[in-house]
Amino acid sequence: MMKTISDILHDIDKKFTGETVSFSELLDAFHERGFGFFMFLFALPAALPIPAIGYGTVLGLPLIFLTAQFALGRSTIWFPQSWKTKSIKRKKLKTVIDSALPWTNKLEYILKPRLEFVTSGISSRIIGVFGLIMALSVCIPLPLTNTVPSFGIALMSVGIIMRDGLAVLAGALIGVLWVCALVFIVSFFGTEGIDFVKELIRGYV
């Protein structure tokens, strides 16, 4: 039986007991599903609370690095050797895991292996291009460019891990359509259009 993302997150939380966890150790823990995990790891913080100015760039650059490789058709992540030895504090990793689990537990009720061709071959390259477009949006230090594209990447990532092509397609459509809508609004109405959309959203929240 294939492990769910929640199972893997629980395993990681129990497996690593030191003060830090290296990227190499995380890659080994996820094996071929490392793309999904690392994209999820960097997309989730920007997808939940609205990040501070500049925070999106910090998260967006690794997402560009990852989605670009996915678009090129790589099955495993390439990291420079010097990057593999870099580490993340276990407390920070645990914070991300604890934040992710409530969402993944809910998503896994509806996620299941289906349309698996979407996560491999030429289809995966197209999905990678969509992810790259969203990652570029996350890097832009403007309102509304971070949260929805990051959510789209996070949903795609969970779909990749769970082999759920429908979730991958849903995440790609949500993120790319949002980016296209923002481009249209800015092109015709400038930043005033962004302000209008912000006020419109606040009115419904």
Residue 75 reports pLDDT greater than 80:
no
Answer whether 162's CB lies under 8 Å from 78's CB. Answer: no
Mean pLDDT of the chain: 78
Q: What is the pLDDT of residue 152?
A: 92
CA distance 101 to 195: 33
Percent of the chain surpassing pLDDT 70: 81
3-state secondary structure the chain: CCCCHHHHHHHHHHHCCCCEEEHHHHHHHHHHHHHHHHHHHHHHHHHCCCCCCCHHHHHHHHHHHHHHHHHCCCCCCCCCHHHHCCEEEHHHHHHHHHHHHHHHHHHCCCCCCECHHHHCHHHHHHHHHHHHHHHHHHHCCCCCCCHHHHHHHHHHHHHHHHCEHHHHHHHHHHHHHHHHHHHHHHHHHCHHHHHHHHHHHHHHC
Give the predicted TM-score (pTM) of the model. Answer: 0.78
Q: What is the pLDDT of residue 169?
A: 93
Nearest to 107 by CA among 69, 160, 28, 54: 160
Would you place residue 196 in the very low, low, confident or very high pLDDT band (cuts 50, 70, 90)? low
Q: What is the pLDDT of residues 88-120, one digit of tens each?
A: 777 777 787 787 777 777 777 788 888 888 877
CA distance 43 to 61: 11
Residue 173 reports pLDDT greater than 90:
yes
What mean pLDDT is predicted for residues 175-194? 79
Provide the sign of the torsion angle of the four alpha carbons 24, 32, 77, 46, taken in this order.
Answer: negative
Look-up of token digits 């790891």: 41
Nearest to 28 by CA among 73, 77, 93: 77
CA distance 159 to 166: 7
Residue 158 reports pLDDT greater than 70:
yes
Q: What is the pLDDT of residues 6-50, one digit of tens each?
A: 777 777 777 777 778 777 777 776 666 677 878 887 887 777 655
Q: 144 — alpha (psi -120 to 50), left (phi > 0) or beta? A: left
Q: What is the pLDDT of residue 201?
A: 60
Residue 53 reports pLDDT greater than 60:
no
Between 178 and 25, residue with greater pLDDT: 178
Weakest-pLDDT range from 20-34, 65-79, 149-163: 20-34
Nearest to 26 by CA among 38, 36, 44: 38
Residue 198 reports pLDDT greater than 70:
no
